[in-house]
Each structure stands twice: as C-alpha cells, then as structure tokens.
Amino acid sequence: MKAAMGRRTATATAVASLVLVFAVIPGCGDDTTPATPDDGQYGSLLNAEEFLNAAVALPVEALREPPQPISLLSSHTLTNTPAVAMQGTPGSLGSPGSCEAQSFGYALGSYTAARAPDGSNKWDAAQPGNEVSAAYQFALAINQGFATCAKGMATIYLSRLASFGSPTTADVPYQPSCTYFSQIDLTKSYPDAKRMRIGSFATFAAGQVSTIAMIKGFLANDQALAFSGSVFMNYKAPVLASGVFYDVAANIIPNSGHGQLIIGYDDNAGAAGRTGALLVQNSFGTDWPPVQSGSTAPAGKLWWSYNTFQVSQKNIAVAYPYDPAPPSGAMLAGSIPSAPVASIERAFQWAPGDGSPATYLIFIHHLADAVKIVSVSVKEPAPGTETATGQYGQFLSKGYTYLKRTDGREFLPGTYQVKMQVQLLDGLLASYSGSVTVGHAAPTTPAAAAMKAADGKLFDSLNKAVTVSISPGS
C-alpha cells in the first residue's frame, strides 16, 4: 500500500515574502575563476541552519492509511527522472557552483512536479519543457542573496517550487556562465511557471542509524531524494569495486560540498561482504564517470555504497506532489476572503512501536494554493485543557505538520480545535481555524494522556520543543 503523501511573475511583494532569514552571501563570481581540479567546491554551502529550520520528514510508514510498516524489495530504481544535467564544463565539472540548484531545484523539483498525487506520471520529466529551469532558480538565488556563483544553499529552491513554481528549461536554458546568470531577466512573467511546482518538502539528517532505511522507504514509494554533503578526493574520476563507489572519511576534501539526487537502491550491488548501494544521479554530464571506472550505472549516475554515503553526507530532502483537486475533509475557515480554500484531509496518530517512546499527532493539509504556514495551534479535547503551538515556517499546498511527544503516551483521542497562522503569496497575513477528530494511535496504542503530561517532551514539525498552555475557558 502506498502512502497518501508520497503517491505518485510574482509581484515584488510576493517575491519578498519568500525571503528566509539567513545571512546574505556576497555576489556572483566571474567566469575566469573556475574550480581547481578535485577541490570539491561544487556549489554546496552545507548550511546547517537552513535544514534545522525545515520540517523534519516522517518515514513513509507514518503516512500510510492506516500507519503501518512497509515491506521492501531488495532493489528499486525510479523511472521518469529528469535528464542528467551538465553543471560545468568537461575541464571544470563543478564550476560554476550551481549543484544545489541542479539537485534540489532541477532534479528533485522536476521529478516531483511530474508526479500526480496517486503516483502516476503527468508528463515526461526528461523533456526541457517539463524540467525546472536550474539557470533561473540559480540566478534568483544569487539575486536574493542565497548563493554566489561559487556556492549556495539548498532548501531555497524547494521553497520556491512549493510557492511560485518555476519557468522550465525550455523557457530559460542552462549555460555554465556567471555572466549568463547575471543577465537572466528575473522580472519576466512565465504563465506556465505553476506547472513546475510541488506540494511541500521535508528534510532529515544523514548519518543516523535509520538513514538508509528511511531512504529506501521513500524510494520504494517512488519518491526521489536530494542530498548534499562532503566530497571525496577522487570524485571526478572515482575508483570503483564491483561497479560501486567505496571510500572512507579520511579521503574527504575539507570544506567541500556538493548536491546530488538519489534515484534507486540495491541491497545486492557491490563487492562480496559489503553489498548494498544507492543509485546517485550527478550533474557532471553523461561522460561521467569515465568509462574506464567500470561503473555499472547508467551514464551520469553512480552506485554509492551505503557506508560511503553514511560517512560523508549531511542533509537530505524529500518532496511531495502538488494536488490540483479541490481540498476536502475537515474544511477550515479563513480569516480573509483572499485566503485560499483549505482543509485537513486526515488527522491521526502514529506510534511506531519500534522501541521508541514517540507518538505523533499528524495533520495532512490541503490548500487550493500555497501559503506559508507560520504556526499551528492545537487545543486538545476534554478532559485535556491544553493548547500547544508548533512552528513550521514553510510554503505548503499539500503536506503535513505534526506534534511529537516522547513520554511513551499517545495523545487524547477526540475532537481537536486547530488554528493556523499563515502568510499568503502576496504577503498578506491570515489565519485558518476548524476542528478535526482524531482516533487512537496505530500500529501500536500506548496509554493516552493530556499534553501537560508531556511538558518538556513535546516537539513540533521542526523538532523544536513546544510548551503547552491552559486553553482559554478551560
């Protein structure tokens, strides 16, 4: 059974509403200072703060209806992926440093935009008219201070795709030139930009015990993942064993950074005694890796051993498709007429029962157009008297928010009052309110308790501590 969430010209005010709170990076470099061979400076700033301020992804099993573990095949490779991009030139593969625009914007964005909510394909993601323009996205990031022509951030591209969308590669082709990026007209209107949009995105950290299992679950659910992390010394011409890239932390280039896309896994790939690999799509063109490497992956792609990924990579993002259907379920009342129609399609609890004391109270949101959800307040049913307010801070038209408690209890079943504070695409502030009914947790059901019992052990979608307050009138 598939998880529901994984199935397959803005005005100046609107553009300003997209800007996140990060330090401004200096301006664009020039075409006369390409990256030196194997310096690993392929474009990722590896900014930890942007990922800490993004929603933490829930595993696929949490969003199944009902929540339950998934059965994985020994291998799975995604289809309908965008064409392999060429970020630089044959003599300077990583320059200019647009890898995050290529991986998070172009690759993950194009793949997700091509998927319907039920997991079916809407169009051929490898055609220029169906691909997110990496050039436009990178030029916009430079203009807004989120990148230079050497390196930049990652999640800004997903934020843009979850809100305003993007022109296509056919609209704005890519050229590996800082001068070219500076000449792109960012004020031009593209009527088809909203075709290239996603419903929402979430992130999680690499290097955890659960990382590979999480990745495999998303891939089995036909969801691609963008990631960024450190670069190994020989990555331009990797040395492989049995067709798989193996390397160790000692060979990481200091202060290096690169973004790429994961499109498959195979538990049996690789050398005997150390099998298991992820299929990675890079932005070094189809002549990489060199033919003499012995790669068994398609051109422009490379199998990475699970351990090599674990010891070197930092942050991962997964995206969810845009849903054009009218919102349905528990309808929410907007505070102003221009607020798009909104609903909570599902409200439920998930208690994984894997030895963890965590239980999640999850809300699946659906809006007719994207809004930036600033916060979500939840008033629990009687006999509880508490209201908890969690932060979110991202654009969303189809996606989820949640509360997590780690005291070994489930949340009280019953009717919850929900209120959201949001910012519309035109910058106006608004709110939504309504009620939803929540049952007991699945697949396990701990004893229920009011939220005050979890004070100090209650967290929001950003994994930040939430304090509870007594609800007015209680």
What pLDDT does 170 receive? Answer: 98
8 A C-beta contact, residue 279 and residue 250? no
Name the one residue in this structure whose structure tokens are 């608004």.
Answer: 430
- Residue 33: per-residue pLDDT: 41
Give the DSSP letter of residue 107: I
Instruction: Tell me which residue has tokens 């209201």.
Output: 387
Q: Does domain 4-320 have CATH number 3.40.50.300?
A: no
330-334 and 414-423 strand pairing: unpaired
C-alpha separations of 174 from 87, 138, 252 in Å:
8, 10, 29
For the record, the structure tokens of 114 come out as: 């091509």
Q: What are phi and psi of 437, to 5 degrees?
A: -105, 130
CA 296 to chain centre: 28
Residue 20 has what pLDDT?
36
Buried b (16+ CB within 10 A) or exposed e, 260-273: bbbbbbbbebbeee
Q: How confident is the model at residue 354 (pLDDT cuts 50, 70, 90)?
A: confident
- Cis preceding-peptide flag for 69 (omega within 30 of 0): no
* pLDDT of 474 higher than 50: yes
Q: What amino acid is encoded at 61 in this protein?
A: E
CA 288 to chain centre: 26
- Provide the b/e sequence for 92-110 (b: ≥16 CB within 10 Å): bbbbbbbbbbbbbbbbbbb
Query: Band of the pLDDT at 287, cuts 50, 70, 90?
Result: very high
CATH number, domain 325-470 = 2.60.40
Alpha helices in 170-225 (DSSP H): 178-182, 211-220
Span 91-104, pLDDT tens digits: 999 999 999 999 99
Report how far residue 327's alpha carbon sits from residue 399's, in angstroms, rounded to the nearest whole number. 12
Identify whether the C-beta of residue 183 lies closer than 8 Å to the C-beta of residue 135. Answer: no
Confidence at residue 472, expressed as pLDDT on a 0 to 100 scale: 67
> What is the domain partition of the chain in residue ranges?
4-320, 325-470
Model confidence at 40, pLDDT cuts 50, 70, 90, reads confident
Beta-carbon contacts of 299 under 8 Å, excluding residues fewer than 6 positions away, are 84, 286, 287, 288
Check pLDDT > 90 for residue 139: yes
| pLDDT for the residue 70 | 87
pLDDT digits (tens, 9 = 90+) for 232-272: 999 999 999 999 999 999 999 999 999 999 999 999 999 99
- Is the pTM higher than 0.85? The answer reads yes
Q: Which residues contact 463 (CB under 8 A, 6 or more apart)?
A: 56, 404
Q: pLDDT tens-digit profile of 428-449? A: 999 999 999 999 999 999 999 9
CA 124 to chain centroid, in Å, comes to 21
